[in-house]
Structure 1
Amino acid sequence: MKRAHREKLQLCDALEKIADDLPSVDRLKCLGTANAIIPLLRDIHHYEETIIFPAYEAATSSGQANLASIRRLRAEHVEDECFAGEVTEILLAIGHGKTIDNAEAIGFMLRGFFESLRRHIAFEREHVLPKIGIVDPG
């Protein structure tokens, strides 16, 4: 889980660098980042949903509040993967030479995506992982 968080945070850092550099971005960095987003998220989400979330559910006794948290985290996974598709599409277009017409809008989109990933990680670190005996101080 620590590795999964580290990889997602590295992705967030790469997206933040791209957002900060707009409109003068490294097109190869855009292509590399675009190609990494969806496979990385799918693999991590699968791991969380099949290993981490069931362990969390088993480790907690308060029931409904924790089940609601797991439902919300699963919903965030779906939202993140949908948003990842849009981010991937724009990064691929930029990487292939598309003119950046509205750098501010693209930057806003990238920031919205990586900030939601960071919030998800923070919640897992603060609430989920301690319950299952994983210490991930960040």
Structure 2
Amino acid sequence: MFEPSPTVGFGELSQLYRQTLQICDSLEAVADSLPRPDRKRCRQIAASLKPAIEAANRLEEQVLSPAVLSRLPDEGMQATICRLREEHAQDGAAADEIVRILVTLSRGGGRRSWEAIGYMLRAYFLAVRRHVACEQSLLASLRTISNSH
């Protein structure tokens, strides 16, 4: 019987992480450019943010989480996967707000203070970077296990 490789989808997931981190870099550039952000860049990020986050989260839950739970089955990993799944929902809700802010910026402003907008952008991309780093660490652990067998 054919058993799929435990690393199927890991390459695609790594690509999605690179894309997500590039979006974080773009968000940081927008935050650094306030109060005069590049409107075109804001539109581009607004269009790509949600689909990128959703694709990475979906693949994490389809590929990474099951692989972690089957290859590293301990209570600590189960709690970690639970926490990461909860972060997916939080990141999605935060992404909705960030997209709204970016659309407002792409149109020339808004009612929030520049400091508040900068804080929200930074809080978001720092949380996403931290999340991706954790998931990349799990991915590296799984690759190490797969290579040792």
TM-score > 0.5 by shorter chain? yes
* Structure 2 equivalent of residue 75 of structure 1: 86
Unaligned runs of 5+ in 2: 1-12, 145-149
Q: Secondary structure at the match of 1:133?
A: helix
The 2-side partners of 1:15 and 1:46 are apart by 22
Bigger mean CA deviation after superposition, 100-109 or 18-27: 100-109
The 1-side partners of 2:28 and 2:121 are apart by 7
The 2-side partners of 1:131 and 1:10 are apart by 23
Matches within 5 A, 1:39-50: 39-50=51-62
Letter in 2 for 1:111: R
Q: 1:130 aligns with which of 140, 143, 146?
A: 140
Matches within 5 A, 1:1-138: 1-62=13-74, 64-99=75-110, 101-126=112-137, 128-133=138-143
Superposed CA deviations along residues 80-110 of structure 1, whole A, max 9, x for unmatched, are 0000000000110111223465111100000
What's the CA shift for 1:112? 0.2
Task: Give the TM-score taking structure 2 as reference length.
Answer: 0.84
Q: Against the structure 1 CA distance between its residues 100 and 22, is the aligned structure 2 distance closer, same or farther, given a 3 Å change threshold? A: farther
Task: Give the TM-score taking structure 1 as reference length.
Answer: 0.90
Say whether the 8 Å CA contact 1:60–1:131 is kept in structure 2: no
Bigger mean CA deviation after superposition, 98-107 or 21-30: 98-107
Q: Secondary structure at the match of 1:68?
A: helix
Q: Secondary structure at the match of 1:97?
A: coil
Aligned residue pairs total 133
Q: Secondary structure at the match of 2:143?
A: coil
Identity %: 36
